[in-house]
Amino acid sequence: MDAFTTPGAFSWSELMTSDAAAAAEFYGQLFGWSIESMDMPTGQYRVAKIGDVAIAGMMASPDPSGEAPVWRCYVTVADVDAAIERCRSLGGAVLMPAMDVPTVGRMACISDPQGAVINIISYEPKAG
> Backbone phi, then psi, for 92, in 5-degree steps?
-85, 180
What would the pLDDT profile of 89-116 be if each residue is shown by its tens digit? 999 999 999 999 999 999 999 999 999 9
Domains of the chain: 13-72 (3.10.180.10), 77-128 (3.10.180.10)
Through-space distance between the first and last CA atoms of the chain, rounded to whole angstroms: 18
What would the pLDDT profile of 47-85 be if each residue is shown by its tens digit? 999 999 999 999 998 776 667 899 999 999 999 999 999
Q: Residue 7: which of 53, 60, 75 has the closest Cα?
A: 75
C-beta of residue 3 within 8 angstroms of C-beta of residue 10: yes
pLDDT confidence tier of residue 119, bands split at 50, 70 and 90: very high
pTM given for the model: 0.85
